[in-house]
Amino acid sequence: MTALVALILAASPFADLVAIDREVAVFTGASTGASGGAALPVDRRLRLRPCLSPLSLGWRTPRQESVVVECPDLGGWRLFVPVRQADAGQTSAVAVNRGDAVTIAVTGDGFTVSQPGEALETGPVGGWVRVRAVNGKGQPMRARIVRPGMVALPLP
């Protein structure tokens, strides 16, 4: 019984900010500080309540300048994480146009499954666009452009 009490006392009463940084990196497809990734790590001074539900992540605006990280629990919290934009001298050539046929690759730990799809938005390599499967079943999803004609949907 004492081991259980020690384990409970050792558990942090606050959310794991490093885990939030990792989830933002998976969502954006770029590491913290890299172009397209979080500009900075989440402020370590924050004392957020632990979230029992999976975090909800989404773009704050269509320009993808910040990511909204939200704990959907009752009394949860919301963070806005700024995204580092490409340098002014860097131009991003369009790799996928709206309506293009693409291969959607769903990747996880040790596997990749692919299916034909259609791009619903235009974007450069490394950018995120909405796509849908050719069979038309299911909702559109957000995937990262790997190269012209190929998008990836990484699973956590």
Long-range contacts, 142-146 (Cβ 8 Å, 24+): 143/104, 144/29, 145/95, 145/96, 146/105
Per-residue pLDDT at 74 exceeds 50: yes
In a domain, 100, yes or no: yes
Q: How confident is the model at residue 62 (pLDDT cuts 50, 70, 90)?
A: confident
Give the phi and the psi of residue 138 in degrees, each rounded to 5. 85, 170
* Residue predicted with more confidence, 130 or 90: 130
Range of the domain at 119: 94-154
- 110's tokens: 């040790």
The reply to whether 76 and 100 lie within a common domain is no
State the alpha helices, DSSP H only, in 1-156. 2-10, 17-28
CATH number for position 142: 2.30.30.760
Neighbour count for residue 45 (Cβ, 10 Å): 6
